[in-house]
């Protein structure tokens, strides 16, 4: 496996870890898409609340995509370059979070400051509020999808039980 394939595979692993979904990739992409839309909405609202007049939907989308890519790259770089040196593989999720956090503070927030011409603290507050809202909605959506999947399996099981009972009690 060459270097680019390793980066792509690690990026998908980090996305699955971030969404907490070992389920089908479609659910991961749905959760990420909903998260981006919610982050876009909240970034606009928080930007207006903090007095950021340079905040437009297009700039917010650029900041979210660029910042997300930088945070993902930081997490993947930590896993690829520091991960093999870990004494215990149980620390890999913590290392991934540390790499993402460092990239967030050192790359994503300053990128927002440059793109939208805001101070660091305004960018940090806007990012944190947007990410928290996106994570909350993604968690609610994930629990909803899990509940629907569980109810579907229960429904199939109850249908099989009903058919078996009808076969037993039919004359």
> Is it the case that residue 103 has pLDDT exceeding 80?
yes
pLDDT in tens, 72-81: 999 999 999 9
CA–CA gap between residue 21 and residue 119 (Å, rounded): 35
Query: How much is the pLDDT for 23?
Result: 64
Query: How much is the pLDDT for 88?
Result: 85
Q: Contact at 8 Å (CB) between 116 and 56?
A: no
pTM: 0.76
Alpha carbon distance, N-terminus to C-terminus of the chain: 64
Q: Which 8-state DSSP code applies to residue 89?
A: G
Q: Contact at 8 Å (CB) between 19 and 32?
A: yes
Please indicate whether residue 168 or residue 95 has the higher confidence score (pLDDT). 95
Query: How much is the pLDDT for 143?
Result: 79
pLDDT in tens, 110-144: 998 999 889 999 889 988 999 899 889 888 887 78
pLDDT in tens, 52-88: 887 888 998 999 999 999 999 999 999 999 988 888 8
Name the domain count of the chain: 1
Host domain of residue 81: 3-169
Report residue 158's pLDDT band, with 50, 70 and 90 as the boundaries. low
> Is it the case that residue 12 has pLDDT exceeding 70?
yes
Mean pLDDT rounded to a whole number for the chain: 83
CA–CA gap between residue 165 and residue 158 (Å, rounded): 10
Percent of the chain with pLDDT over 90: 27
Q: What is the mean pLDDT of residues 12-16?
A: 80
> Is it the case that residue 104 has pLDDT exceeding 90?
yes
Please indicate whether residue 1 or residue 33 has the higher confidence score (pLDDT). 33
> Is it the case that residue 106 has pLDDT exceeding 90?
yes
Tokens coding 97: 């979070």
């Amino acid at each position: 496996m060459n270097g680019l394939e390793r980066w792509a595979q690690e990026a998908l692993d980090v996305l699955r870890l971030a969404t907490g979904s070992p389920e089908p990739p479609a659910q991961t992409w749905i959760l990420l898409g909903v998260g981006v839309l919610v982050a876009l909405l909240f970034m606009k609202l928080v930007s207006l609340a903090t007095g950021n007049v340079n905040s437009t939907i297009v700039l917010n989308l650029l900041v979210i995509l660029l910042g997300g890519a930088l945070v993902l790259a930081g997490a993947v770089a930590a896993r690829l370059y520091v991960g093999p040196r870990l004494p215990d593989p149980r620390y890999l999720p913590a290392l991934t979070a540390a790499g993402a956090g460092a990239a967030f503070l050192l790359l994503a927030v300053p990128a927002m400051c440059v793109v939208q011409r805001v101070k660091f603290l305004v960018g940090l507050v806007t990012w944190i509020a947007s990410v928290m809202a996106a994570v909350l909605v993604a968690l609610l959506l994930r629990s909803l999808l899990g509940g629907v999947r569980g109810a579907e399996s229960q429904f199939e099981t109850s249908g099989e039980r009903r058919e078996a009972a009808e076969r037993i009690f039919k004359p």
